[in-house]
Structures are given as C-alpha cells and as structure tokens.
C-alpha cells in the first residue's frame, strides 16, 4: 500500500522537460525585462523568481507542483531575508573601507610606491599589481577614476600610449573585482554555494594573478604599439606637496592585507579543527534515504563541524573569531577610519559624509544580491535546480563547465558582471552539495571568469574604459573587449587545471 502511494506521488511530480522549460523561460523573462524594458536588475530578478514560483504552483499544475500560491510571497521574503544578513554586512563594510582608502589618497600612494619599486621600464607591471591590490577593497570604476591621473602622467613622461599603462591597470582591476572577495560578486557566490571566503580568496589569487599578467602584460604591450592614445592636453601632474601628504605605502598594504590574512588564518584553523571528521562514518549513521540525499549529507557534516568547533581549544576559538569575514573586515574598516581618518586630521563630519555616501552604491548591490537569494530559493523550492542537476548528469556536462557557461551567457546578454554571477549562482546552487570546499571555491572562480567575458556596449564598464582611455567604440572593442575575453578564458582554463588536482 505504501509503495503504491509513493508511486502515485512520484507520478504527480512535474516532469524533467517541464521544469527545464520553466528554467529557460525564466531566463528569457529576466533578459527581456532587463534588455527590452530596461527594468532594474533587482526588480527583474524578483519578477523572474515569481514567474518560476507561479509556474510550479500546485494550483496551476494539477497538484504536481511543489509550491502553493498562498505561500509564494513568504518564499520570496524568506529568500531575501536569508541572503542579506551576511552579504549586506560584508558589502557595507567593504564599501566604507574602500571609500576611506579613496578619500585619504591611499590608492594613489599604493600606485606611486609600486611605480618607484618596479621602475619606469616596468611600469606596466606596477599597474597590474596596483590594479590587482586596489580592486580588493575599492570598486573597479572608482579605482579607475582615482588612478587615471597617474596613467596620464606616465604617458606624458614616457611618450608612450596611454594604453601601455591603462590596459595593465584595467586587467588587474577586472580580475580581483570578479575573483577575490570582499568585492560583492565573489562574496555572494561563495555564500550561496556554502564555501568559506578563505578558500575563495586563496584560489581567486592563485588563478587571478597569472590571469592578470597574461591579460595585463602580454596583450597590452602589443595593443599599445599598434594604437597610440595621447594623454589629454589639459592634463597637469600633481605636485610633490600632494604626494608628500599621502599615507604610507606600508600602512596601505597592512590595512588591505589584514582582513585577507585573518580570513585565510580562520580557514586554516577551521580545516584543522574539522580534519578529524570521517565523512564516510558520518554518512553511514544516516538513514538509507538521507544517505542518498546530498542536502542531508551536507547538513550532517556541517553539524559535525559545529560540534568540533564547540569542543576546540580556546586558542582555536579566538582565531576563528578574528578569522570570521565580518570581524576581519570590521577590524580593517575601523583601522582605516582611525588611521586614515581621525589620525590624519580629517574633520569628523567629513568622515561621516564620506562613509555615508559610500553606502549609496552598496545599497543597490545589496538589493540585487538579495534578489539573487530569492531567485536561488525559488529555483530550489520549485524543483528546477534538481531537474537541472539531473539533466546535466545525463548529458555529461561537468559542473565547472556549466557554471562558467551560465555566467558567460548572462554576462553577454545583459552586461553586468554582478548580475551574471548572482544568476549563475542561483542556477548552480542545487548541483554543488557533494563538492569539497576547494572544489566549491573553483566553481566560484569559474563563475567569476564567465562573468568577465566579452565586455561590450551593454556593459557600463565598456563606456567607462572608452571614456577614460579616450578610445572610440571600435578601439574599445579591439582592446578592452579582447582583454576581458582573454581574462575570462585564461581564468577558466586555470580553474579547470586546478579542478583536476583538487
């Protein structure tokens, strides 16, 4: 009797074809709303989520769906709320930290100091490293605006094309903006896939730095030789007095490196504490049904890790406290406020204004990532994520490849790297339960690589680069679009090689 009942329930489930069709239509709805109707990404993601939820409602599918119309509103609310606690805090702290670094002249100090270290002949290397470091706490567009005067000064002094220095900077900025937390994209994907930020920082740097070198040193040298762009005639270099007032190079490195070091340390400690957990023994204690359920296995493992942490030494607990991303970034932000703000004599009301304004752009990103949480939650509750996982297993598509392709598709279609990462993470969330932390980190890197691909006219970054590098649309396609595509391909290729190892 029980078996007959189970068979009847199975027959009532939505078919694989229906769920995959629902997924395709949801993506189409999302893109139409953004591209055709010019709807804000936050609102478009909510509407696409609602489309999936209604399409899988029991009342409209003859009882075969998994959601009820009366509870869809709660599902949207839950998805938004469950995503924002961690993400909003990290993005808010990162935005304030970046604003303080910008306002104090820390970014200029970093760039000029690296130029002195590398020397004029190796200035492109200095620009790659500058972009790679400064884009960790500072948004790409803001960092470009800050460093552009240094690019113009180098071009004027050496007689070389602006592109000889600007493109290396842009490559470094682009890589860490997409690959390395605490920038919003990788933070969001890491949170949604359940991987520690320490692992993402580690693999983001391992993959990102050689990717930045290939995209920022090898290609720009060839491009700058073929295309000469002169600095603007009205440009005037900053005075030595202004340079003398900048914060020290060492202090900037310490402030940027502090949260990264603490997060990595916390990851090492957590892995050490959890090293004694036997996964197979843990799974064998579950019911037969739960042993076949990836979510149940992951929940059991997470519970075991929490137990090990509660029984760990006081030293381990202290290190885990300071290694938590929120605590680590809070310490760095407070350090920046004290040293770069109060310690350098800035008026308190000015600092209040700087930090408050920093939260404006951050608020938009927070809402978009929150909507991404809704998208992910509805995908899981409707059965679409599970259907996609089954289809990929049947078709033999590796998880890493699928993650990359999802991000590339959304990026090319609508332009925003952040929206591409948010959407791809929502689609991949149901297929990663059985992956280890290093594997999950590489999935994050693959999504980040896909989200940098083929920047063109629907990407605000395309026009920003065109304006500040003083290029026509055709020239921007020939340089920036090519570099973004190479960075994407190289980043994914390196992630794929590491995937074979881990």
What is the number of domains present in the chain? 1
pLDDT of residue 9: 41
Per residue in 359-368, is it b (16+ CB within 10 Å) or e — as a string? eebbeebbbb
Whether residue 11 is contained in a domain is answered as: no
Whether residue 4 is contained in a domain is answered as: no
Confidence label for 2 from pLDDT (cuts 50, 70 and 90):
very low
In terms of residue numbers, what domain contains 225? 16-57+67-230+237-501
pLDDT of residue 242: 60
Whether residue 1 is contained in a domain is answered as: no
Question: Among 13-17, 321-325, 329-333, 387-391, which stretch is predicted with the lowest mean pLDDT?
Answer: 387-391
Closest of 247, 255, 249 to residue 104, by C-alpha: 247
Round to whole Å and give the CA distance between 231 and 237: 11
What mean pLDDT is predicted for residues 354-368?
80
Which residue blocks in 14-139 are alpha helix, DSSP H? 16-31, 41-55, 72-104, 106-118, 123-134
pTM of the model: 0.83
**What residues contact 154, with CB distance under 8 A and at least 6 apart?**
115, 120, 123, 160, 164, 165
Output the CA–CA distances (angstroms, integers) from residue 230 to 147, 170, 422, in the order listed: 16, 17, 38
Per residue in 148-174, is it b (16+ CB within 10 Å) or e — as a string? bbbbbbbbbeeebbbbbbbbbbbbbbb
pLDDT of residue 236: 62
**Percentage of the chain surpassing pLDDT 70?**
93
Round to whole Å and give the CA distance between 73 and 278: 40
Round to whole Å and give the CA distance between 142 and 80: 28
pLDDT of residue 459: 82
Do 68 and 53 form a contact (C-beta atoms < 8 A)? Answer: no
pLDDT in tens, 388-427: 777 776 777 888 999 999 899 888 887 888 888 888 888 8
Whether residue 7 is contained in a domain is answered as: no
Sign of CA dihedral 16, 19, 22, 26: negative
Whether residue 132 is contained in a domain is answered as: yes
Whether residue 494 is contained in a domain is answered as: yes
pLDDT of residue 179: 92
Mean pLDDT across the chain: 83
Which of 100-114, 200-214, 259-273, 357-371 reaches the highest mean pLDDT? 200-214
Own/partner pairs, 151-154, CB within 8 angstroms, 24+ separation:
151/127, 151/231, 152/231, 152/232, 152/235, 153/231, 153/235, 153/237, 153/238, 154/115, 154/120, 154/123
- The SS3 assignment for 67 reads strand
Round to whole Å and give the CA distance between 336 and 221: 36
Sign of CA dihedral 470, 223, 487, 107: negative
- Name residue 138's beta-bridge partners: none
**What residues contact 391, with CB distance under 8 A and at least 6 apart?**
16, 20
Whether residue 10 is contained in a domain is answered as: no
pLDDT in tens, 441-468: 999 999 999 999 988 888 888 888 888 8
What mean pLDDT is predicted for residues 194-200?
89
Round to whole Å and give the CA distance between 317 and 475: 54
Whether residue 424 is contained in a domain is answered as: yes
Q: Is the pLDDT of residue 494 over 80?
A: yes
What mean pLDDT is predicted for residues 110-124?
87
What does DSSP assign to residue 13?
A: S
Question: Among 38-52, 78-92, 157-171, which stretch is predicted with the lowest mean pLDDT?
Answer: 78-92
């Amino acid at each position: 009797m029980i078996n007959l009942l189970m068979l009847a329930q199975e027959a009532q489930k939505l078919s694989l074809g229906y769920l995959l069709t629902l997924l395709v239509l949801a993506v189409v709805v999302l893109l139409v709303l953004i591209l055709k109707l010019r709807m804000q990404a936050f609102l478009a993601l909510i509407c696409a989520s609602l489309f999936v939820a209604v399409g899988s409602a029991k009342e409209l599918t003859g009882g075969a769906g998994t959601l009820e119309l009366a509870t869809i509103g709660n599902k949207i609310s839950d998805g938004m709320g469950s995503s924002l606690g961690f993400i909003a805090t990290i993005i808010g702290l990162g935005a304030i930290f970046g604003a303080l670094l910008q306002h104090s002249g820390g970014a200029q100090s970093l760039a000029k100091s690296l130029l002195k270290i590398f020397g004029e002949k190796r200035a492109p290397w200095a620009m790659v490293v500058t972009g790679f470091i400064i884009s960790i706490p500072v948004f790409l567009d803001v960092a470009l605006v800050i460093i552009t005067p240094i690019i113009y000064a180098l071009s004027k002094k050496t007689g070389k094309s602006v592109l000889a220095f600007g493109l290396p900077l842009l490559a470094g900025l682009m890589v860490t903006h997409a690959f390395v937390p605490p920038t919003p994209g990788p933070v969001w994907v890491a949170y949604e896939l359940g991987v520690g930020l320490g692992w993402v920082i580690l693999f983001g740097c391992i993959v990102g730095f050689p990717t930045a070198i290939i995209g920022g040193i090898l290609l720009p040298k060839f491009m700058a030789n073929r295309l000469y762009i002169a600095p603007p005639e009205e440009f005037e270099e900053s005075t030595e007095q202004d340079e003398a007032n900048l914060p020290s190079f060492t202090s900037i490195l310490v402030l940027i490196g502090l949260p990264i070091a603490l997060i990595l340390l916390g990851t090492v400690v957590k892995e050490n504490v959890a090293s004694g957990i036997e996964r197979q023994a843990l799974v064998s204690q579950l019911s037969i049904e739960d042993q076949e359920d990836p979510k149940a296995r992951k929940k059991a493992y997470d519970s075991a890790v929490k137990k090990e942490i509660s029984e760990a030494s006081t030293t381990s607990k202290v290190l885990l406290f300071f290694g938590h991303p929120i605590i680590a970034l809070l310490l760095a932000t407070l350090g920046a406020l004290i040293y770069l703000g109060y310690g350098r004599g800035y008026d308190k009301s000015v600092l209040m204004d700087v930090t408050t304004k920093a939260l404006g752009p951050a608020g938009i990103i927070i809402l978009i990532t929150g909507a991404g949480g809704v998208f992910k939650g509805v995908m899981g509750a409707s059965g679409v994520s599970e259907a996609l996982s089954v289809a990929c297993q049947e078709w033999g598509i590796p998880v890493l490849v699928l993650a990359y392709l999802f991000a590339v598709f959304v990026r090319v279609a609508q332009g925003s790297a952040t929206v591409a990462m948010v959407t791809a993470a929502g689609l991949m969330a149901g297929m990663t339960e059985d992956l280890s932390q290093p594997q999950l980190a590489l999935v994050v890197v693959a999504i980040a690589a896909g989200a940098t691909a083929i920047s063109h006219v629907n990407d605000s970054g395309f026009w920003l680069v065109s304006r500040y590098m003083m290029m026509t649309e055709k020239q921007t396609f020939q340089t920036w679009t090519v570099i973004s595509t190479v960075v994407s391909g190289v980043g994914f290729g390196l992630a794929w090689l590491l995937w074979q190892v881990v």
